[in-house]
Amino acid sequence: MAEDAEFGIEGRWAVVRRHRIRWSECDQYAHANNTAYLALCEDLRVSHWLSLGGRFALGEPGPVVAQMEVRYLRPLAFDDEVAVTMRPATLRRSSLTQDYAIWKDGLVFTCRAVLVLVRHGSGEKVPIAPAMRAALIEQGATEEG
């Protein structure tokens, strides 16, 4: 992809999105704040969920973050152009892991998230539906356990 060269992206990613660091994402150290990176990951997570046929309505299963491991490798500044990437990693019955990264002249940030599928309203765990599981495997995810 064109973005691979422009941003120094390595590896295969299911989703790539350009972003320009916003004024509202920067704190008084003049750097993008830690939480801004996670909201960018969230953007990809929810649009990816929609792209798989998922919904966020009451009674529907949706992904809820249970764990995250994040690394901030280099700071980002206002108006920096970056690429945010995402891919599913491993699948269990009703949970999955996803990898996120942010790139600008190479790797800037990584995040691995553990998501649990939870029914909105009841809070009960819901297994990954077969068609969604197949789509995730096609995007590079592997079955775990």
Which parts of this chain interact with its own copies (CB under 8 A)? 22-24, 26-30, 33-35, 38-39, 42-43, 46-47, 50, 56, 62, 64-72, 75, 78-79, 120, 123
Query: CA-CA distance, 37 to 2, in Å (whole number)?
Result: 22
Q: How far is the CB of 65 from its own copies (least distance, A)?
A: 5
What the block records as the tokens of 46 is 């929810």
Selection from 87, 42, 79, 78 nearest residue 63 by Cα: 42
Q: In angstroms, what is the minimal distance from the CB of 112 to its own copies?
A: 10
Q: Which CB, 16 or 38, lies closer to its own copies? A: 38
* Nearest residue (CB) to its own copies, 39 versus 137: 39
Contact 10, 80 (CB under 8 A): no
